[in-house]
Structure 1
Amino acid sequence: MNFALILFLLLVVTGVLYAVDVLKFRKLRTPGDKEPIWVEWGAGFFPVILIVFVLRSFLFEPFKIPSGSMIPTLLVGDFILVNKFTYGIRLPVINKKIIPINDPQRGDVMVFRYPEDPSLDYIKRVVGLPGDTVAYQNKRLTINGQPVEVSKAGDYLHPERLYYSEQYVEKLGDVEHKLLNDTDAPSFIPDASRFPHRENCTYNAAGVICKVPAGHYFMMGDNRDNSRDSRAWGFVPEQNIVGKAFFIWLNFSDLGRIGSFR
């Protein structure tokens, strides 16, 4: 469901009703007259829909985390806010950038339209920038020939499934974050698609090596062995970017998580 398109259509319909009422019918009503239903339930909602549309399209948009691919950074059930203007101002619905501001940086947690189905929004971490060579071999990450700094942290207990994953602290650019690896999971990528620019990637028993094309980004989940990401479905085009995730504003199962991510 394209909620942005639905909201835009509601804005247009209620805006037309609001304009017609203000310019014509409101002048014909005498003080104390009851508003017609089409005004009360149509034009009356226009200011509210306008505010929601502007906030959601240009400032902040809420998302709910549906899967465990970003554990331990983001958990299933986290409600997060996404900054829509960090990477530039985009036209609603068509998502075309009209005012550039910043470019994504390594380590950013970014929401984007899933390349294989742009009607879906995905969230992963930016690992590779345009022009980077990203190698994920034997569960260790290298960018442009330089191993990414990692250090062992305490094992992570998955509370719902009651098993442990190895946990590491990784530094991507200026961002330090935690990631998970499962010792019994294979290093190779078993389900790679035939995605655009697949010729930029080499798959082997140890994993994958990719050269990120211009205008694209290489994304990975922090739950490395339980995330289907750029290793499998390829690069994220710049035009698919939605915004930068920065804040957990609610989790019904754990209120202590509110504000724990930025």
Structure 2
Amino acid sequence: MDFSLLLVIAVLLSGAIYLLDILVFRPQRRKRAEAAQAASEEGLDAASREALLKEPWLVDYARSFFPVLFVVLVVRSFIVEPFQIPSGSMRPTLEVGDFILVNKYAYGLRLPVSHTQILEVDSPERGDVMVFRFPNEPSVNFIKRVVGLPGDTIRYEGKQLYVNGERIAKQLLEEGPDASPQQLLLEEELDQARYRIYNNPRDPGPQLREVEVPEGHYFTMGDNRDHSNDSRYWGFVPEENIVGRAFAVWMQWDGGLPSFSEVRRIE
């Protein structure tokens, strides 16, 4: 189900009904009330006049919901949109059940539904946590870290990332952390971004010989390096598939009571 499409339809429908009432039906109701007033010798009482001027229930609902739906559409399409993390591919940065906020204007403003860019603002940078529509199934949203920009060369061998031939620095923080005892917790530094990743020393993981990122595309990887379905498997993210930049976790919900103790910025 495309929620953006449903929201656009709801806004257009409620707005059309509200506008039609203002331009057509409301003047007609007033004319009927005035005609009834003139035809009555004693004049209409307040209750009768109110009954003639009363809005139909459909118009009443449209008038009430249109401004709310319109604000939600604008905020969700052009400012910020919430998402929930469904998998562990971005651990330890993001956990299953995290509710995140995504900046929708960071990489340019796009129309809802068609996703056509109407204003260019900025481009993704290496290290950004980006939400995008999965190239193989655009109705599904993915979240990964950008490691390769257009024109970059990417290689991943022996659990080591190379960008443009340079080895990306990382250091071991902990062996077998409590949150994931079978893995190594490391900190990786890519350009100005510093973030934590997991590597499984018992799993050789995918190997990727050097590839060049085409123009208008990006190379992404999950922070849970050995448990992530990312560009190493299915290729590059087209620029037109970009949704926005994830910047904060505002709630955690794993099926029990929602928790706000993990509110944090996304690095």
Band the TM-score falls in, shorter-chain normalisation: 0.7 to 0.9
Check if 1:78 corresponds to 2:98.
Answer: yes
The code of the aligned residue for 1:210 comes to V
Cα distance in 1 for residues equivalent to 2:205 and 2:144 = 19
Q: Report how many residues are paired.
A: 243
Task: For 1:159-170, list aligned pairs within 5 A.
Answer: 159=179, 163-170=181-188
Check if 1:218 corresponds to 2:238.
Answer: no
| Counterpart for residue 123 of structure 1 | 143
Query: Whose radius of gyration is greater, 1 or 2?
Result: 2
Gap regions ≥5 residues in structure 1: 189-205
Supply the RMSD in Å over aligned alpha carbons.
Answer: 1.7
Deviation at 1:173, TM superposition (A): 1.4
Deviation at 1:21, TM superposition (A): 1.4
Structure 1 stretches (4+) deviating beyond 2 angstroms? Answer: 24-27, 29-35, 40-44, 155-159, 206-209, 252-255, 259-262
Deviation at 1:44, TM superposition (A): 2.4
| Counterpart for residue 85 of structure 2 | 65
**Contact kept in structure 2, 1:83 and 1:246, CA below 8 Å:** yes
Give the secondary-structure state (helix, strand or coil) at the position aligned to 2:5.
helix
| Counterpart for residue 234 of structure 2 | 233
Cα distance in 2 for residues equivalent to 1:156 and 1:241 = 34
State the TM-score, normalizing by the size of structure 2: 0.86
| Counterpart for residue 6 of structure 1 | 6
| Counterpart for residue 91 of structure 1 | 111
**Contact kept in structure 1, 2:250 and 2:260, CA below 8 Å:** no
**Contact kept in structure 1, 2:126 and 2:146, CA below 8 Å:** yes
**Contact kept in structure 2, 1:138 and 1:207, CA below 8 Å:** no
Deviation at 1:110, TM superposition (A): 0.3
Between the two proteins, what is the percent identity of the paired residues?
Answer: 47
Gap regions ≥5 residues in structure 2: 34-48
State the TM-score, normalizing by the size of structure 1: 0.88
Deviation at 1:156, TM superposition (A): 5.1
Task: For 1:1-262, list aligned pairs within 5 A.
Answer: 1-27=1-27, 28=29, 32-33=50-51, 34-155=54-175, 157=177, 159=179, 163-188=181-206, 206-252=207-253, 254-261=259-266
**Contact kept in structure 2, 1:208 and 1:231, CA below 8 Å:** no
**Contact kept in structure 2, 1:154 and 1:166, CA below 8 Å:** yes
Closer, same or farther in 2 for the Cα pair 1:96/1:84, shift >3 Å? same
